[in-house]
C-alpha cells in the first residue's frame, strides 16, 4: 500500500517524550477509497523496533465496488509486509512479480535501493476486505540491498496460552517465520477462538506494540479495541493478554533501531537529499524503480516536496 498523501512529513521539532507503557490513538487516513487507521508513525514515536508504519483497514464491504486500488508507486529503504484477515489483494511489482494474497499468507517486498508496485482488489473479489499494511525500516547496513519479493503461502502457527499465534516475521512463542529479516524483529497475529488469556513470552531486548484488529482485549492491564495501540518498552519477559472470543490481535516489535529515520511519502531514508533524489528519479521514470506491468491506469505522482521541512529523528 502507499501513503497517497504526504502526511508522514510531520514537524518533529518538539522534544521527544515517550512513556514505557502507553496507549495511543490511530489517526484516520485515506488510501484511495479505503479509510485506514494509521497507528504508526506517531509524532513522538517514529518506529517500534524496525516497524515504522502500521495501517489497519476494514473490515470494509467491497462487494461489487472497486475495493483497494493503489496505482504503481515507488519505495526505498524499507520492507512492506502485507497481511490479510479477510479478502484478497493482487500485488504487481517492477521485478515482474504478480501475486494474489489471501488471509494467513505473507507478501514481503524488500524495496532496498528502489522498487515500484501496485496493489488492487482483483476482479472479481471477495466481499469483505480486512488487513494490515506494515513497513519495516531497513537498518543502515542493509538499506541499499537489491529489491526482492517473497510470498509465503503458509506461516508457522502454534499456541501461547489460549491464543493461536501465527508468526509472519521473526520469532515468537518458539516459532520462526521463514521471511527474510535484516534486524531483530517479531511480527505475529494472535487469535482468540474463545475467551483467551496468555502471558506471551517476549525478548527483553525488544520493544513492542500490541493492537486489536477485531474484538476487544486487555493488554498489559489496559483495555483496547480497534484504533488504539499499546506500546511496551524493552526489559519485559512477557506481555499479558486477555482477549474476548473471536478477537484478532497483532504483536509487533524488535530491537530498538537506534537510527534516525527520515520518512516522506513512500520513502524511508536518512537525509533530505536522498528523499529529493528518489522523488526526482520517480518523476523522471528512472530505471531505479522500473515499470509495473499489467496495471490499468496511471502511476501515482509524487506529492510536492519541500526538503527544508524534512527533519530526521
Q: Which residues bind Mn ion (CB under 5 A)?
A: 2
What do you get for the CA distance between the two ends of the chain, in Å?
23
What is the grid cell recorded at 8?
Answer: 508522514
Upper half-sphere CA count for residue 158 (Cβ side, 13 Å): 11
Q: Provide, rounded to whole angstroms, the least separation between the CB of residue 1 and Mn ion.
A: 5
Question: How many Å apart are CA 182 and CA 205, to the nearest integer?
Answer: 16
Q: Which is nearer to Mn ion, 32 or 156 (CB)?
A: 32
- Least spacing, CB of residue 266 vs Mn ion, in Å: 6
CB of 2 to Mn ion, least distance (A): 4
Binning the chain into helix, strand and coil, the percentages to the nearest 5 are 5, 45, 45
How long, in residues, is the chain?
313
Nearer to Mn ion, 31 or 210 (CB): 31
CA 144 to chain centre: 19
CB of 60 to Mn ion, least distance (A): 18
Closer of 109 and 224 to Mn ion (Cβ):
109
- Minimum CB–partner distance for residue 226 and Mn ion (Å): 22
Q: Which is nearer to Mn ion, 32 or 272 (CB)?
A: 32
Is the CB of 2 or the CB of 107 nearer to Mn ion?
2
**Residues with Cβ within 8 Å of residue 7, at least 6 apart in sequence:** 29
How many whole angstroms separate alpha carbon 72 and alpha carbon 58?
A: 22
Amino acid at each position: 500500500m502507499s501513503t497517497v498523501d504526504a502526511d508522514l512529513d510531520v514537524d518533529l521539532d518538539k522534544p521527544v517524550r515517550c512513556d514505557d507503557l502507553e496507549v495511543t490513538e490511530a489517526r484516520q487516513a485515506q488510501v484511495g477509497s479505503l479509510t485506514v487507521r494509521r497507528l504508526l508513525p506517531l509524532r513522538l514515536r517514529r518506529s517500534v523496533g524496525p516497524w515504522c508504519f502500521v495501517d489497519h483497514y476494514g473490515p470494509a464491504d467491497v462487494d461489487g465496488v472497486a475495493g483497494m486500488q493503489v496505482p504503481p508507486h515507488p519505495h526505498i529503504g524499507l520492507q512492506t509486509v502485507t497481511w490479510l484477515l479477510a479478502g484478497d489483494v493482487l500485488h504487481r511489482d517492477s521485478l515482474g512479480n504478480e501475486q494474489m494474497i489471501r488471509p494467513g499468507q505473507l507478501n514481503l517486498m524488500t524495496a532496498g535501493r528502489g522498487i515500484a508496485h501496485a496493489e488492487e482488489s482483483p476482479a472479481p473479489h471477495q466481499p469483505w476486505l480486512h488487513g494490515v499494511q506494515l513497513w519495516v525500516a531497513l537498518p543502515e547496513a542493509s538499506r541499499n540491498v537489491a529489491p526482492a519479493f517473497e510470498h509465503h503461502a503458509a506461516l508457522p502457527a502454534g499456541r501461547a496460552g489460549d491464543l493461536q499465534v501465527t508468526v509472519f516475521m521473526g520469532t515468537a512463542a518458539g516459532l520462526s517465520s521463514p521471511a527474510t529479516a535484516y534486524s531483530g524483529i517479531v511480527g505475529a497475529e494472535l487469535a482468540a477462538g474463545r475467551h483467551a488469556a496468555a502471558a506471551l513470552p517476549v525478548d527483553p531486548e525488544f520493544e513492542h506494540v500490541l493492537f486489536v484488529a477485531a474484538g476487544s482485549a486487555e493488554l498489559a492491564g489496559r483495555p483496547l479495541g480497534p484504533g488504539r495501540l499499546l506500546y511496551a518498552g524493552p526489559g519485559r519477559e512477557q506481555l499479558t493478554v486477555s482477549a474476548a472470543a473471536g478477537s484478532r490481535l497483532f504483536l509487533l516489535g524488535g530491537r530498538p533501531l537506534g537510527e534516525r529515520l527520515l520518512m516522506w511519502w513512500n520513502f524511508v531514508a536518512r537525509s533530505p537529499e536522498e528523499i529529493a533524489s528518489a522523488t526526482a528519479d520517480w518523476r523522471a521514470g528512472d530505471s531505479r524503480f522500473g515499470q509495473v506491468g499489467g496495471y490499468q491506469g496511471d502511476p501515482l505522482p509524487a506529492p510536492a516536496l519541500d526538503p527544508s521541512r524534512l527533519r530526521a529523528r
